[in-house]
Amino acid sequence: MSFLSGRISQWAGVLVLLSAVTPAVATKRVVRRTISVRTLHRSSAPIAPLVATVTKRKITRSAQPASTPGKARSLSGPWRVPTYADSTEGDRIEGEDPTVRRAALDALGRLNGTVVVADPLTGRILTIVNQRLAFRDGFQPCSTVKVPVALAALSESIVERDTRIRIYGRTTMTLTEALARSSNQYFASLGQKLGFERVSYYAHLFGLGEKAGLDIEGEQAGLLPPAPPKNGMGMMTSFGDGISLTPLELTAIVSAVANGGTLYYLQYPRTQDEAQTILPRVKRHLDIEALIPEIKPGMAGAVEYGTARRIGFDPNQPIFGKTGTCTDERSPTHLGWFGSFSETSRGKLAVTVLLTGGHGVSGPAAAGVAGNVYKNLGAVDYVAEVNPQSPVLRSILPTRPLALRARSYGQ
């Protein structure tokens, strides 16, 4: 009897010890869940150590349970937007291409997000899944901002494709590597060298802060800040701090890169008759044709070995793109961006994906969705039907390029 009493006393002691330890462990987990990029935005540290800190912390993920099919996920961490939702509610699809629509829906699945597919040689939008999200006033662009920043730095002769910039210690990186691996330190350095005035000038020129579409009902424009963000130019040019980007604006930018520098008004036909008679409308020509070969290797590298490799590299269907992952404080929601275009002998397509939510939302995940859009359309040889190059269409398009630099950045 005394032996049994002794055992009971020992187990009671263990239970008391565990009850004392558990709150501390739980507290540690809660703290880990709430670490995010937005915590870093309040820092007043100098830009170089700040960006290094961002690189280490932005990969921290919210510790949430795995998804259970058919059951709603409870949110944890700082995000208040669900990862899964019906992304088709309220969409008007009368003028869309039904083949592209099906391919995009199948690729997005149950994820809460939007998919925009456009013809980069005409500006015609072929489908928009989740128009409520695509038409709103945008989100922080995260690392997708690095594409216009790279073009700005190249135009200003601040860097060339093979220019090496020190990242940390003895580690250096070229523009190609920085785009492929999305180096925050590299683009923070470019932001410091460019300055707010030049970054703002090029951002406006590439269509940020203005509607990308032509008379698209419900579309809102993104936002460009009137002054440098409080956290400095490094955060603006590596994470898009202070900028609000819409999926249509990103689609227009990657389309201009795909077609050699023409920034088309995106047009979204509302009927099939309108879709058949639509004519391209040019917003402006950008003098970036000579710069595009400087950034395409980095955008291709993102797919082949960098942040977008979840697509699955296929040399027979080259895809060029840029991912973006961060937290938008206004919602708040975690974001996964991917702006891209495909380029084959049969034609070109531009695909933009934006995912919102918490667990599992990231730029690589958005790249995976875009990759499935391309695969679905490739399986039915759809690309062969896109991009009509009739003499009539070609004859009505202006050909004189618009110089990137104006006399004054304020113009």
Question: Do the domain assignments include residue 71?
Answer: no
Question: Do the domain assignments include residue 161?
Answer: yes
Question: Do the domain assignments include residue 61?
Answer: no
335 three-class SS: strand
Low-confidence ranges of the chain (pLDDT < 70): 1-78, 383-411
> Contact, 349 vs 377, CB < 8 A?
yes
Q: In this structure, what DSSP letter does residue 343 have?
A: E
ω into residue 98 within 30 of 0, thus cis? no
pLDDT, tens digit, for every residue of 37-84?
Answer: 333 333 333 333 333 333 333 323 333 333 333 333 434 566 789 999
* Dihedral pair phi/psi, residue 383, rounded to 5°: -55, -30
Question: Do the domain assignments include residue 58?
Answer: no
Q: How many whole angstroms separate alpha carbon 377 and alpha carbon 102?
A: 9
Question: Do the domain assignments include residue 142?
Answer: yes
Number of domains in the chain: 1
The enclosing domain of 308 has a CATH number of 3.40.710.10
**Whole domain around residue 276: which residue ranges?**
98-396
Q: Which helix (H) or strand (E) holds 129?
A: strand 125-129
Nearest Cα residue to 276 out of 120, 56, 94, 22: 94
CA 322 vs CA 39, 57, 68, 301, 309: distances in Å:
24, 20, 30, 10, 11
Q: How many whole angstroms separate alpha carbon 318 and alpha carbon 309?
A: 12
Q: Which ranges of 76-174 would DSSP assign to H, the alpha helix?
A: 98-108, 131-135, 146-155
The CA angle 117-144-275, to the nearest 5 degrees, is: 15
CA 250 vs CA 74, 247, 312, 319, 406: distances in Å:
31, 5, 22, 16, 23
Residue 89 is predicted with a pLDDT of 93
Residue 381 is predicted with a pLDDT of 86
Task: Return the residue matching tokens 């809660």.
Answer: 30
Question: Do the domain assignments include residue 33?
Answer: no
Residue 404 is predicted with a pLDDT of 42
Question: Do the domain assignments include residue 309?
Answer: yes
pLDDT, tens digit, for every residue of 80-139?
Answer: 899 999 999 999 999 999 999 999 999 999 999 999 999 999 999 999 999 999 999 999
Residue 123 is predicted with a pLDDT of 97
Q: Which helix (H) or strand (E) holds 324?
A: strand 319-328
Nearest Cα residue to 221 out of 245, 190, 200: 245
pTM, 2 dp:
0.78
Question: Do the domain assignments include residue 5?
Answer: no
